[in-house]
Amino acid sequence: MSQMDLDFTDSELHRYSRHILLQDVGAIGQAKLRAARVLLVGAGGLGSPLALYLAGAGIGTIGLIDDDILELSNLQRQVAHDTSRLGRNKADSAAETIRRLNPEVRVEIHQRRLDAAAAQELIPRYDIICDGTDNFPTRFLLGDACHLLGRTLVSAAVLRFEGQLSTYKSHLGAPFPCQRCLHPEPPPPGLVPSCSEAGVLGAVTGVMGTLQATEVLKEILGIGEGMAGRLLLWDALDARFRTVALKRDPECPLCGPSPRIRDLACHAVAPEPVLCGVGAGA
């Protein structure tokens, strides 16, 4: 994280006054937020509320990576965009919204797909990475990359009326698990439908993206109990949250004592990314 600057303009003091009033945040905490660099992978249903709340909170630099184009069906849940921007790149559109909300935030736009090369190039530039993707190959690439490149990953997912959330910081060692401790391999193609196939209640993405933003802020500020080693599950229809403990898998192919995944080569060369990690390093 960049060196903190405790000098605030009158405008900043006014804008962030409700943060500064908080005993667990204060001026020093707000300076931490201003010094932070956060990368959002995906500017859609999860990335939209995530981007808005991080920008409102005063995160100094927000990176947005997305190669997708805004479509009418996105607007039911992707609230960082509007009808006038249909056909535009989502990262570019979200950046415009962020700048209008908080011109003091620096936005870095990456209009590209997150592949192994992009992960190697971009992830080391940021302090915390946020997973707002909607497919398993990219999620597993991101989880592997954050572990190997030494970055904390705050991940959320939604489908239909349900959401889940966790933070992964396995690069710090035991007892923190990685994403593959929970799911060693992606599910077979077609087993789990996408939101475009099964649908999603728009407000569910808003709740999970906002929870994701909260965890990012907690990680930067160093307050509260984080979600590393825990998985939050939410059923919107039953209005129930539950949390389950995640343990480090001693046989994990990524963070175990004898890892088979030591780099991102499998993501770069595998013709079917869902098979990445099978026999890697063997």
Q: What is the CATH number of the domain that holds 83?
A: 3.40.50.720
CA distance 186 to 192: 10
* CA triple 123-257-170, angle to 5 deg: 35
Residue 134 has pLDDT above 80, yes or no: yes
Mean pLDDT of the chain: 92
Residue 276 lies in a domain: no
Residue 282 has pLDDT above 70, yes or no: no
The answer to whether residues 8 and 19 touch, using CB atoms and an 8 Å cutoff, is no
Residue 79 has pLDDT above 70, yes or no: yes
Residue 166 lies in a domain: yes
What does the pLDDT look like over 162-217, one tens digit per residue? 999 999 999 999 999 999 999 998 887 777 777 777 889 999 999 999 999 999 99
Residue 37 lies in a domain: yes
pLDDT at 266: 81
pLDDT at 276: 31
Residue 52 lies in a domain: yes
CA distance 20 to 63: 25
Please give the model's pTM, rounded to 2 decimal places: 0.92
| Structural domains in the chain (count) | 1
Residue 5 lies in a domain: no
What does the pLDDT look like over 8-50, one tens digit per residue? 999 999 999 999 999 999 999 999 999 999 999 999 999 999 9
pLDDT at 189: 74
Cα dihedral 38→48→166→62 (10° resolution): 0
Residue 3 lies in a domain: no
**Residue 53 domain boundaries:** 17-267
* CA triple 134-244-200, angle to 5 deg: 30
Residue 280 lies in a domain: no
For the chain, how big is the Rg over CA atoms in Å? 18
Residue 236 lies in a domain: yes
